[in-house]
Amino acid sequence: MENYHLPDWKLEDINFPFWKVESRMNHPASLVLLAALAGLTWMSWRDSHDYAAFRQLDDSAHRIRFYRQWTLVPFVLFGIGGVAILLALGKLDALWILPAEFAGSIERVLPEPSSESSSLEKSLGMAAGIALGLTISAIVWRYRLKKASQPVTGDIEALLPRNRKELAWCIPLAVNAGISEEIFYRAALPLLALEATGSVSASLVISTAAFGIAHWYQGWKGVLATTGVGALMAWLYLSSGSIVKPMAAHILIDIVALVIRPLISQSLLNRAISQSANARKAQ
């Protein structure tokens, strides 16, 4: 019988595709990302407990102390911390220009508008958004006014200011949230996730989901709502190429919710009480 000699071969010589794939993950960045997500999860749990305690407070001084805490802590963690992450990644310019990694992806999704129509489209879109927002707000305020005499049980209602002193603290809270959270959730965290995963899509999903989970104290409905808002802010950032626009939109949303809405609701309530008192006097 003729002897056959099998050729020498090595495992790496096998030409399966999965032997040729190189991992795109950056392991040090992945560890930092996991640590950041773990910290955000812990913060969400802690905020839920703090908010539960906050809902039981009647004394304005103690409520203001929480407002102050919810302003200063996010400023340090999200504002300063977000800038530190961008510095470490060498992406501080993401604060004024869209990173090239994101710009290349958005160009494949959104067509470049013509110069003649872009200004008109932006104006119409802004006008439609404002009109829709005012309409929804008017409906909500009218509905809330009917329930003004009932105890507040909603997850968000407890956060609303009850007097002028609390209202004054809600202004810096809203402005800081719009600036610090956008720096962190729209620029720093997506770029860190991109460095860790090598995927733009994954980075946007991770940062948007993290933004929603950070609002767990509002309940699962609040998480879903804020996740949707986070996706909208991410789209605004990517489509406009500027983080200033989602910052402005975020500040406007919070100012309307925490300042303008309570002022209008209180004004409408005072008017209703006055009209009711006048009607009783006339009888």
Token look-up 């494949």 returns 108
pLDDT category, 149, cuts 50, 70, 90?
Answer: very low
Average pLDDT over residues 169-185: 97
Of 174, 188, 212, 159, give the one whose Cα is nearest residue 77.
188
* The total number of residues written for the chain in this structure: 283
pLDDT of residue 21: 31
Cα angle: 79, vertex 205, 203; to 5 degrees: 65
Task: Evaluate if residue 128 carries a pLDDT over 50.
Answer: yes
- What percentage of the chain carries pLDDT values higher than 70? 72
Dist CA 184 CA 180 (whole Å) = 6
Stretch among 53-57, 152-156, 161-165, 201-205 having the lowest mean pLDDT: 152-156
Averaged pLDDT score across all residues of the chain: 81
Q: Are 155 and 149 in contact (CB under 8 A)?
A: no
Stretch among 17-21, 39-43, 54-58, 87-91 having the lowest mean pLDDT: 17-21
Per-residue pLDDT reduced to its tens digit, 24-57: 667 888 999 999 999 999 999 999 999 999 999 9
Average pLDDT over residues 73-93: 96
